[in-house]
Structure 1
Amino acid sequence: MPTPPRGRDATAAKPDTAPPGREQTRQRVVDAAIDLLTRGGRDAVTTRAVADAAGLQPPAIYRLFGDKEGLLDAVAEHGFTAFLATKHIDPDPQDPIEDLRAGWDVAVEFGLANPALFTLMYAEPARSDSPAFRTGMEILMGRVGRLAAGGWLRLDEELAAQTIHATARGAVLTWLSLPEDRRDPALFTTLRESMVTAVTQQEPAVRDAGPAGAARALRAVLPEETLLSSGERHLLREWLNRLATES
């Protein structure tokens, strides 16, 4: 279970070498904005304050980012990229349920370590256009796909991914919205385990990995299926028979 930190947002690691020219200046401005955001919240991130902190004139912010919202989008993208770097991808986890829990914990831990940045990242739906955000969701869909292939998934893959993402994000934002004397760390365990129960089966529905195992599992319950016509069931059984005997 993630341990709630105290104090300021954690500072994301800086690259060893800064990009040259314009990109170096952009990064300096983003770093200055993150520092102001961490210390004073979103209201502290004004174009003048960021320009002063970065050693620039305010018009430079508009040349680099278009406007303040463009700057905030760049800050959010930096956050999504930093979050992406914390993700661990195991293409063949020994225990896919524990892998799901670990991935959920990583998301919560990042949010607790970077509260102001996390809030900015997830405060507006438009942030989902971020390339790094989309890459992170692709990683989540890969994890969900492995659960589905192993017969562990209880929900449709898209709904499962939305549930996992929503509970992690909601856990952090709820924690941050509470007065400190009302923050109970059990919130995280409760939400995480509720998510696991909602998304996964206690036992895999498919015992054998691969198409053959899945086909045998589906063939076993096919007689109970009433949505398909008898002809459709017959055709589906033929396909499943071929898959089930595939070596």
Structure 2
Amino acid sequence: MTAPAPLTTPADVARNAAGRPVVQLRGVGKRYSNGTLAVAGVDLDLRRGEFASLLGPSGCGKSTVLRMIAGLGEPSAGRIDWPGAPRDGRGQPVRDVGFVFQEPTLMPWATALQNVMLPLRLEKVPSREAADRAAAALQSVGLDAFLRAYPRELSGGMKMRVSIARALVTEPRILLLDEPFAALDEITRHKLNDDLLALWAKAGFTVLFVTHSVFESVYLSQRIVVMAARPGRIVADLGIDAPFPRDAAFRTSVEYAEACKIVSARLAQAIVS
């Protein structure tokens, strides 16, 4: 049995990550109108094609950071840069992100196909092309037999697959996921972890995955960014050297257990810091 691979340093992560940064956060903070300082001084680079997780306790600002990257909220301090991104007519960078929320947020009166077509309709993509692309996205998440099904006819895991397909149908450069599997049973969660990794390996988009699960973050990620609360801030940036693809054998390996132990220790420090 080989010795467990060590966790790398942030410098190793930056050196080994593929490509240049697709988004950079510098000194980013968020203070709400009630005076609450939710996030402060966040510096973070996401590089092309990497799979990174934001790990931390509830209330540490993980979702706030994710939403600011997506443009669903503006930072009250610092800046978010998009190196190399095309510009729109106002000179603003095109973010080109897909977002998967904690809940599937599907329209109950629309079929799976119609739900996935929504982002394309908003972009005024012709109906036939939109339907074909939505069908292909649903096929990529294993739901090609459920194109005409309504949300009420789908399980929780299937609804989340529809949500992922909807986020991917525009072929974004960055996929942002806000604890998408937290409410699912363990078997379904593990299966969706594997499916997400397969989609990432095939398409090569950048992933930022929010979770409060050490075990999920170690299984999925090349890199884990640990956050602490009051205010939300980054306290550790760790790399996971285990190769891909990962499978059930990895979950029971010494390497996985050792990585979980180290990440758990850093998370425990974040909770008391």
Question: TM-score under structure 1 normalisation?
Answer: 0.30
Q: Is the helix fraction higher in 1 or 2?
A: 1
Q: Is the strand fraction higher in 1 or 2?
A: 2
Of structures 1 and 2, the one scoring higher in RCO (CA 8 A, sep 6+) is 2
**Between Structure 1 and Structure 2, whose CA radius of gyration is higher?**
1
